[in-house]
Amino acid sequence: MPWQWLWKTRNAIFAAALLAFCCGIVFAQGPQAATPSIFTPASTPATEINNLSYFVLEITGGIFLVVGGLLVYVIIRYRARDTDDNREPAQIYGSNQVELAWTVIPVLIVVVLFLTTARMIFAIQDAPKPKAALDVTTVAHQFWWEYRYPALGVVAANELHVPLSNTQDPKPTYMKLLSADVDHSYWVPQLSGKVDLIPNHPNELWIDPMRAGLYVGQCAQFCGAQHAKMLLRVYVDTPDQFAAWVKNQQQDGVQDPSVAAGRRVFETQACMNCHAVRGTAATGRFGPDLTHLMSRDTLASGILHNNKENLRQWIKNPDSFKPGSLMPAMQLSDDQLDQLTAYLSTLK
Ligand code: HEC
Ligand SMILES: [Cu+2]
């Protein structure tokens, strides 16, 4: 029968697509190697969320086992048999006890889940802020992240550096979350819960990472065409690494005379209207601060390794990586591209 054949091919195609999709999830990590999993928390808020999710899973798993078990029992015990007399069984209507039980027990379960969740949310939100806390203002943009450290005089983009914390001497990072355009959402699952960044409505979030290393996440609120390529990278540094990073970020952009031609292109094309390089006339804030571009591992919000070829191609045509990106292709000549790439490569 043709339709049977069709049915089989459809199943085969479906299975292949599913397999490809799963492999895609595993391999399409790009520059991201760390795992954005809530089940390996590395910070107090994430640990509490992890514990709560296990509690919820235990309760809902218990309900699943009871309901599924009864269902399987009934299906097997009362299945149709050859010896059945095919008469309709006795019909029973209404039972106050049973109806009360299946109303009261679920209500109690929901109340318990609600109260434990609410208690945890308030505990995280009301946690007293220690004096040693680091303040960071995070501004979401279509489609990248701006990080400002007001007390340190540092402005960075896309890669957040924070110090390691520990329980004896906590050094948490408190983030003020803002948006320059539409709604976004900050979510690095190993460090904290999801918090939205909403225009004109500052939100807060804190993390106290207990293990050094790289943590990844991504914008969790659809914010436009390149929402999926708005990745989050949080580097948790040891005190020495963090101090060195801050010291470097506080410097003005390197001015290397051998790449003056590239700097001229940067300052005569529209680049400087959108980008800042501290210590030069470039003070644009529409795009990422480029003062220490080369101190970052990735370009364009975590989607590309930061190397010369990618940098050149990005400047030539941002749309080739991020269609709909808010940085225009500037129609530069090959010479201008080479000079610009050489200049930007000195901004360590
Ligand atoms: C209209 C404003 C605008 C202009 C003009 C502009 N850019 Fe951009 N640029 C952006 C935006 C916005 C981004 C972030 C894009 C993203 O990640 O989605 C960006 C990203 C970048 C990045 C990656 C930064 C990072 O931290 O990953 C580089 C490098 C860059 N631009 C260089 C340039 C150069 C060089 C020029 C001039 C030829 C230029 N830009 C002109 C807006 C602009
Ligand atoms: Cu976003």
pLDDT by residue (tens digit) across 119-174?
A: 999 999 999 999 999 999 999 999 999 999 999 999 999 999 999 999 888 999 99
First to last CA, the chain: 68
pLDDT band at 10 (very low <50, low <70, confident <90, very high): low
d(CA 265, CA 343): 9
Backbone angles phi, psi at 203, to 5 degrees: -115, 165
| Distance of CA 327 from the midpoint of ligand 1 (Å) | 5
Pick the residue whose CA is nearest to atom 12 on ligand 1. Answer: 287
205 in ligand 1 pocket by Cβ < 6 Å?
A: no
330 in ligand 1 pocket by Cβ < 6 Å?
A: yes
Ligand nearest to the CA of 347: 1
pLDDT of residue 60: 96
- Summary mean pLDDT of the chain: 91
| Distance of CA 99 from the midpoint of ligand 2 (Å) | 47
Pick the residue whose CA is nearest to atom 29 on ligand 1. Answer: 311
With vertex at residue 182, the alpha carbon angle to CA 43 and CA 226, rounded to the nearest 5 degrees, is: 80
- Report the predicted TM-score, pTM, of the whole model to 2 decimal places: 0.85
Peptide bond before 64: cis, by omega within 30 degrees of 0? no
Q: Which helix (H) or strand (E) holds 250?
A: helix 239-250
pLDDT by residue (tens digit) across 282-339?
A: 999 999 999 999 999 999 999 999 999 999 999 999 999 999 999 999 999 999 999 9
**Comparing 235 with 82, which gets the higher pLDDT?**
235
306 in ligand 1 pocket by Cβ < 6 Å?
A: no
Pick the residue whose CA is nearest to atom 6 on ligand 1. Answer: 271
The CATH number of 257-344 is 2.60.40.420
180 in ligand 1 pocket by Cβ < 6 Å?
A: no
Pick the residue whose CA is nearest to atom 39 on ligand 1. Answer: 271
121 in ligand 1 pocket by Cβ < 6 Å?
A: no
Contact (Cβ atoms closer than 8 angstroms) between residue 246 and residue 340: no
pLDDT of residue 29: 45
| Residue 189: count of CB within 10 angstroms of its CB | 24
pLDDT band at 16 (very low <50, low <70, confident <90, very high): low
The answer on pLDDT for 6 being more than 90 is: no
Torsion of CA 71, 77, 82, 86, to 10 degrees: -70
Q: What is the mean pLDDT of residues 4-30?
A: 55
Pick the residue whose CA is nearest to atom 11 on ligand 1. Answer: 287
Of ligand 1's listed atoms, the one at least distance from the Cα of 336 is: 38
**Comparing 8 with 310, which gets the higher pLDDT?**
310
What's the helix, strand, coil split of the chain in %, to 5? 40, 20, 40
pLDDT by residue (tens digit) across 72-86?
A: 999 999 998 888 888
The answer on pLDDT for 177 being more than 90 is: yes
| Distance of CA 177 from the midpoint of ligand 1 (Å) | 22
The answer on pLDDT for 35 being more than 90 is: no
Residue by residue, DSSP assigns 313-340 as: HHHH-GGGTSTT-SSPP----HHHHHHH
**Comparing 4 with 320, which gets the higher pLDDT?**
320
Of ligand 1's listed atoms, the one at least distance from the Cα of 141 is: 12
d(CA 197, CA 177): 5
